[in-house]
Amino acid sequence: MSTDVLLSAQNLSVRFGGVLAVNKVSFDVRRGEVFTLIGPNGAGKTTVFNLISRIYTPTTGTIVYDGAELTKQPAHAVASLGIARTFQNIELFEHATVLQNLLIGRHTHRGTNLLDDLLFTPRARRAAHEAREKVERVIDFLDLQHHRDSMIAGLPYGIRKVVELARALASEPRLLLLDEPSSGLNVEETEDMVFWIDDIRREFGATVLMVEHDMSLVSKVSDRVLAMNQGEVLALGTPEEVQAHPGVIEAYLGSQEDMSSLRRAPAP
């Protein structure tokens, strides 16, 4: 694995009124690795995601992506830099088919202008074919052939989750942000997800940054893990190191002192 940095967050803080949602968080994501954020609910993981995809602007700190400052970019420009994301509570285009959803994923590669579209010029037709070929590659990769022409509104949750991953992949991202890819999936689907994340890295050459709670998935696919709690970094390292870190255990399970206070007083 190479060690050069694709995304570097330095000293990130974001404040919503009196709440300091993210407090001085710094980390580097290396090119080609799977980097996972873990932490209890409300730790600020999704906020970090929203900072990277420019839905929020950090109060202080910088995010450098591939040598360029990301916080200066408007939200819609992030996709054309090669950053794609999924959402924790699926945000698909409900009244469109799976195919249309994936084609929207290719928006940054559209290759036509308004006039081409209005007249459907040969160029627009060519672009439509190219987009379709790229999308079909993703459909094959994620086994979505059966659902190609189904409306999202009629699909079960597990399939929607995969469609969202497919839509992000359709944009040929260099950095893929996955917000809880396994939430709501059953054991079998979660195992598929493990293979897919592995393959995404190998076949599509994407760097993966994800938020995840399922520790078995995390330890199977992640190269490095960042544990957060209450907006601050707790630990950073390999999955084993982070799982063994006392601060992480405390954040998830509570400290020894807390436990002893719960214990029944010894009989006199």
CB of 245 to another protein, least distance (A): 32
Does residue number 66 form part of the binding site for another protein (CB under 8 A)?
Answer: no
Q: Which of 91, 17, 18 is nearest to 50 (CA)?
A: 91
Does residue number 259 form part of the binding site for another protein (CB under 8 A)?
Answer: no
Q: Which of 74, 137, 78 is nearest to 102 (CA)?
A: 137
- In the block, tokens 């359709």 appear at 170
Interface pick for another protein out of 57, 72, 120, 199 (rule CB under 8 A) = 120
CB of 71 to another protein, least distance (A): 16
Instruction: Report yes or no: 71 and 12 within 8 Å, Cβ to Cβ.
Output: no
- In the block, tokens 């420019």 appear at 54
Does residue number 147 form part of the binding site for another protein (CB under 8 A)?
Answer: no
Q: Which of 248, 234, 190 is nearest to 214 (CA)?
A: 190
CB closer to another protein, 112 vs 230: 112
- In the block, tokens 């873990």 appear at 38
Interface pick for another protein out of 5, 24, 93, 198 (rule CB under 8 A) = 93
Does residue number 16 form part of the binding site for another protein (CB under 8 A)?
Answer: no
Does residue number 94 form part of the binding site for another protein (CB under 8 A)?
Answer: yes
CB of 98 to another protein, least distance (A): 12
Q: Stretches 128-136, 190-198, 237-245, 259-267: which one binds another protein (CB under 8 A)? A: 128-136
CB closer to another protein, 59 vs 97: 97
- In the block, tokens 């907006």 appear at 231
Alpha-carbon Rg for the chain, nearest whole angstrom, is: 21
CB of 75 to another protein, least distance (A): 5
What is the three-class DSSP state of 168? helix
Distance CA 182, CA 85 (A): 14
Instruction: Report yes or no: 151 and 95 within 8 Å, Cβ to Cβ.
Output: yes
DSSP single-letter state for residue 266:
P
Interface pick for another protein out of 71, 73, 108, 230 (rule CB under 8 A) = 108
Does residue number 7 form part of the binding site for another protein (CB under 8 A)?
Answer: no
Q: Stretches 21-29, 76-84, 209-217, 246-254: which one binds another protein (CB under 8 A)? A: 76-84
Strands (DSSP E) contained in the chain are: 5-16, 19-30, 34-38, 60-65, 68-69, 83-85, 175-179, 207-211, 224-229, 232-237
Does residue number 203 form part of the binding site for another protein (CB under 8 A)?
Answer: no
Does residue number 159 form part of the binding site for another protein (CB under 8 A)?
Answer: no
Does residue number 57 form part of the binding site for another protein (CB under 8 A)?
Answer: no
What is the three-class DSSP state of 212? coil
Residues that bind another protein in the complex, under the rule CB under 8 A: 53, 55, 74-80, 84-85, 87, 90-96, 99-100, 103-108, 110, 112, 114, 116-120, 124-125, 127-129, 131-133, 153-154, 157, 160, 167, 171
